[in-house]
Structure 1
Amino acid sequence: MINASGGTRQGHYMEGVKAMTNEGDLVHDAWLNAVARDGARQPVGLLGALSEADTIRRLELPVHTMLPVVLRQLLLPVMIDALGAPRTRQEWGERFHRGRFTHDERDRLASYLGTRRYGARFRLFDAERPFAQVAGLKSLNGETKTAAQLVPSVASGNNVPLFSALSEADELLLTPGDAVLWLLHVHCWDTASIKTGAVGDPQAKNGKTTGNPTGPLGQFGVVVPTGETLYETLLLNTPILPDGLEPGDRPQWAWDERPAGLGCKSPAEAAWSERPATGLLDLLTFQARRIRLIACETEQGLRVHRVIVSAGDRLAQTPEVEPHTAWQHTAKPKKGQPHRRPRRHTSGRAAWQGLGTLLAMTLPVQSDGPYTSLLLRQIGDLQGSGVLSGQYRLGVETSGLEYGTQSAVVENAIGDDLPLPVKALLAQDDWLREALLECVAQADQVARALDGLNNDLRRAAGGDPLHRDKGSRPSAQFLHSLDGTMRRLLVGLRTVGEGDEELLERAQLAWEQSVQIAADREAGLLLAAAPPRAVVGRTVKNGDKEFVYRSGKAIGVFRTRLADILPRAAEERRVEREEAAVA
């Protein structure tokens, strides 16, 4: 048969045939890979993932940016809409400490996802209402594109990853399970490239739509708190809503239940609008694109091989009820600008290097600065009120995409996970938080000192210092070498209590000693690489002043700076020298 791009292939193309298959039932088909608490891997459907969430440690997903996609577009809105959001800390705590859904809650989830309610709307290939798609969507030029358009790591159009195993000429076949994951990933993270103009979209011009923003998650750095089970992760990502959900707030699969006065376009039609989110459920399931998956029958079963991706709803701005971002607060913004804007993650930096933002529990009203996410503030509040233990083993996953060339291509993916002491989130008692931030600041200061040493050695050898954004810097390798040490420190500090000042002091001393060892190692490598002429050095004139650069002087300055940055380690070495002299 003739495919959508004019070629031929074996198999039967299944466009728009309602009775083509029973595959693509997201509620019951086992398409999500779950890792149980004992480490066993078991595929589950949407209902199974929710009902058995207490037995699942985590979901095994293809990329780091996929966790917030599955939480926001599926698990959280189904749970919140079916069971309601907790209205008080006490209600949240009762759910959390129970550790699982009750029989009644499981029945309500099953009923919500049953055929009498929304179950039929979770079918990927339904002819009339395919999940998160527009049935019968057609491009103005009548063409479709390869399924690679859904996957940022595969070459497609202007997005040409350096290490892609496939070229745009290769056909990518996605299983129904993979297809729905990447479908939802596009709604959340898609690039801002020109989109295919769709039949029925009055804003399409010349066969295309321009001016598209990235998907909503692409506009900030995502911060997701995680627990020891999927059930705990769901609760940790559920905001407490004292007044309940906003009137008329519905998820995308129940768009027809939204009041007409809200002015929302149907996500099941080609037309779209720029608008604010009407509430939490709308925000979590925001349909930033209009998409149609096109499947074919192969020897391996049903596969998605072609797609249409057109412009979708544009979020007017990230609302302050957005639960998964930290904020940059500006005390005196420019006219028309908000006081708070979402913060992005910095490429090349580990999550622990951004602890200053994650632990910023108070709003800097009189000055500019970071303010942590709504969910981390809520966790700190729950710990402060005794609902959540200070020794709870909290994790945080950060993710983001770095876009290039007018945000039309993906240049880099950012992803990390971090153990986080819950006590550090308690705004009223900042002793642990200050200790952690001191450790992070010390690593940053030593890194800058190493770069300074490198520049001084380059000058001593007759060269010039590295330009700020050019060359390989010793600080990068140094900070990378500290990654495991910092994570061990964070895990150890999960159990530190208020009366454990001595334990905290010993932990900080051990940290400084580890930093000292790593810094000495990097400094030794720099010194060994310096040519012999660096020993003699040179004199550089700058105006009326002269500066002498020699390797011996450079390493002396570095060690003095190191002693100032790491006072505990310096004092420990001084005491050891004195004791050795007496002996």
Structure 2
Amino acid sequence: MDVNGDLVHGAALTAVGLDGVTKPAGLLNILTQAHSVRRLELPVHTMLPVVIRQLLLPVMFDALGVPRNRKEWGEWFRRGKFSGQELERLTHYLGPERYGDRFRLFAAERPFAQVACLKALNGETKSAAQLVPSVASGNNVPLFSALSEADELLLTPGDALLWLLHVHCWDTASIKTGAEGDPQAKNGKTTGNPTGPLGQLGTVVPVGETLYETLLLNTPVLPDGLAAGDRPQWAWDERPAGLGCKSPASPAWSERPASGLLDLLTFQARRVRLFTCEMEQGLRVNKVIVSAGDRLARTPDDDPHTAWHHTAKPKKDQPHRRPRRHASGRAAWQGLSTLLAMALPKDGDGPYTSQLLRQIGDLQSDQVLAGQYPLGVEISGLEYGNQSAVVENAIGDDLPLPVNALLAQDKWLREALLECVDQADLVARALDGLNNDLRRASGGDPLPRDKGSRPSAQFLHSLDRTMRRLLVGLRTVGADDDELLERAQLAWEQTVWIAAGREADLLLAAVPPRAIVGRTVKNGDKEFVYRSGKAIGVFRKKLAEILERAAEERGTAAEEVAAA
């Protein structure tokens, strides 16, 4: 990458080809060769929605438009790559005659996604660690950070680009440096900042076999096209004055709704300036200013990259839908009930899946997308703490997803998958109940809800690979394959039974001999007897009730052995 940080032709991103070879590439090459790129090489899970939303999709949408109907979307998808005319339009869009000069990371007058000549009121700059939540900086002190605040962090131009976009999307709500020219800065700082827009979401990104397919799977079908006057951040000066948008290239900011899809995807939630130094290895970013930026008044209910919580009777001035965040400590498959919630809850409150997953189900229903298509889904999110001023945990996972499970009008596969997830959850609770009963039988107390290591965690982790195999296998199951689906569910239950039995045996082996005799516990006027034998018997009864197919199979096998 040259001294201006040319993102169009320089080595701004890293692509993994279909042959598995990793190589650096510029933005233009990434897009024009998207059909031969399997995925982008990114440092963390939360980076995928960042690059897709802040860079790739808005360039593609602004240069080529969006499909107006499912048939048009299907034509793009079946082609498998951009047409010759589309390649010309992308090349022209990123060329010097259009916006090419606005994709320079270190340009003096108009640096990409930054404010040229941004100055702090106190005249100071901070470490580039301000951009990276996994590195100690200010009040954000990760437990396992390899660097302290005293260490200098040097970012390559490519890494600096990624973390620059990341801070626009995921930054904490901590106090920001007051900038010269920001009328809302007081006493050298700006308070009341929300997190970046993605910090309010639990992002859900559909993934295809190539980057081109991934881009299409993340492209909404819009019958009316893009909104009039909707422009990405690098074309802010083309927005109509009536929209009331402040220039993201100036220190001033405002709280406002997004004016359209391009504005939403490239929303500039911070005002940033990168500072470079020359090293033996080349140009490096070592200092940064991160100031307050635009505040999104609300997440629009057509944001494509999040699932929702639908409230039938919201409070006054509250919307019916709120973005649904991912739960920490849970694998993605444990949240299938949200990902597969294809219809609004009829009665009361509940989850509602993302716009893009609903669209994929509609595309399959119209036979635009094959039911056997190897769809993947990546989820990501950040968990904030202490008034959202620090990052406590990063959430990231991916899983295969059968497209047939996204059919809104056909529940057969979706109900089978959700039954499997529900069984795992019920067995996990039964294991925790067994653990508590064995603790009582041994003379102790149950684990408090928010403390201690529970056997359910290890049990659910042990099922992860099996569930992923099940999801991959069910991609090929058709509506008439009842026998195959039944065999798959039986195999799942047998695996769950074995895994639960293994955990139960470990718990039983760890209790002291006095647990056999047990003890009696009084609770008011009632007495409860806890013994290890009774506890394991209750657990096995629950297991048979939850896993009926496996229990029946085991019973049949036992009868055959007895008869022989």
**8 Å contact kept, 2:272–2:288:** yes
Distance 2:542 2:370 in 1: 39
Q: Tell me which residue corresponds to 1:144.
A: 125
1:271 to 229, 252, 264: 252
Deviation at 1:23, TM superposition (A): 4.2
Q: Tell me which residue corresponds to 2:52.
A: 71
**8 Å contact kept, 2:12–2:161:** no
Q: Tell me which residue corresponds to 2:507.
A: 526
Distance 1:254 1:425 in 2: 36
**8 Å contact kept, 1:225–1:233:** yes
Q: Percent identity?
A: 82
Q: Tell me which residue corresponds to 1:4.
A: none
TM-score (norm 2): 0.99
Q: Tell me which residue corresponds to 2:64.
A: 83
**8 Å contact kept, 2:231–2:239:** yes
Q: Tell me which residue corresponds to 2:348.
A: 367
Distance 2:273 2:521 in 1: 66
Deviation at 1:365, TM superposition (A): 3.7
User: In structure 1, what residue type is equivalent to 2:492?
Assistant: W
- Structure 1 residue 350 corresponds to structure 2 residue 331: yes
1:543 to 511, 514, 524: 524
Q: How does 1:183-222 map to 2 (within 5 A)?
A: 183-222=164-203
Deviation at 1:541, TM superposition (A): 1.2
Q: Tell me which residue corresponds to 1:502.
A: 483
Aligned residues: 564
Q: Tell me which residue corresponds to 1:419.
A: 400
- Structure 1 residue 45 corresponds to structure 2 residue 23: no
Distance 1:299 1:102 in 2: 42
Q: 1:528 to 1:87 in 2, by over 3 A?
A: same
Q: Tell me which residue corresponds to 1:401.
A: 382
- Structure 1 residue 472 corresponds to structure 2 residue 453: yes
Aligned Cα RMSD in Å?
A: 0.8
Q: Tell me which residue corresponds to 1:576.
A: 557
**8 Å contact kept, 1:194–1:212:** yes
Q: Tell me which residue corresponds to 2:138.
A: 157
Q: Tell me which residue corresponds to 2:206.
A: 225
Distance 2:147 2:312 in 1: 48
Distance 1:432 1:483 in 2: 19
Structure 1 runs not aligned, ≥5 long: 1-19
User: In structure 2, what residue type is equivalent to 1:514?
Assistant: T
SS in 1 for 2:271: strand
User: In structure 2, what residue type is equivalent to 1:461?
Assistant: S
User: In structure 2, what residue type is equivalent to 1:207?
Assistant: G
Deviation at 1:485, TM superposition (A): 0.4
Deviation at 1:321, TM superposition (A): 1.3
**8 Å contact kept, 1:393–1:494:** yes
Distance 1:469 1:339 in 2: 31
Distance 2:500 2:339 in 1: 26
The CA deviation string for residues 508-539 of structure 1, in whole angstroms up to 9 with x for no partner, is: 00000000000000000000001111000011
Distance 2:524 2:177 in 1: 60
Q: Tell me which residue corresponds to 1:172.
A: 153
Q: How does 1:366-385 map to 2 (within 5 A)?
A: 366-385=347-366
Q: Tell me which residue corresponds to 1:56.
A: 37
User: In structure 2, what residue type is equivalent to 1:127?
Assistant: A
Q: How does 1:293-312 map to 2 (within 5 A)?
A: 293-312=274-293
- Structure 1 residue 236 corresponds to structure 2 residue 217: yes
Distance 2:207 2:248 in 1: 30
Distance 1:165 1:501 in 2: 53
SS in 1 for 2:393: strand
Q: How does 1:1-40 map to 2 (within 5 A)?
A: 22-40=3-21
Q: Tell me which residue corresponds to 2:315.
A: 334
**8 Å contact kept, 1:23–1:29:** no
Structure 2 runs not aligned, ≥5 long: none
SS in 2 for 1:494: helix
Distance 2:4 2:291 in 1: 25
Distance 1:248 1:212 in 2: 27
Distance 2:205 2:536 in 1: 42
Give the ranges of 4+ consecutive aligned residues of structure 1 lying more than 3 Å apart after TM superposition. Answer: 20-23
Deviation at 1:545, TM superposition (A): 1.3
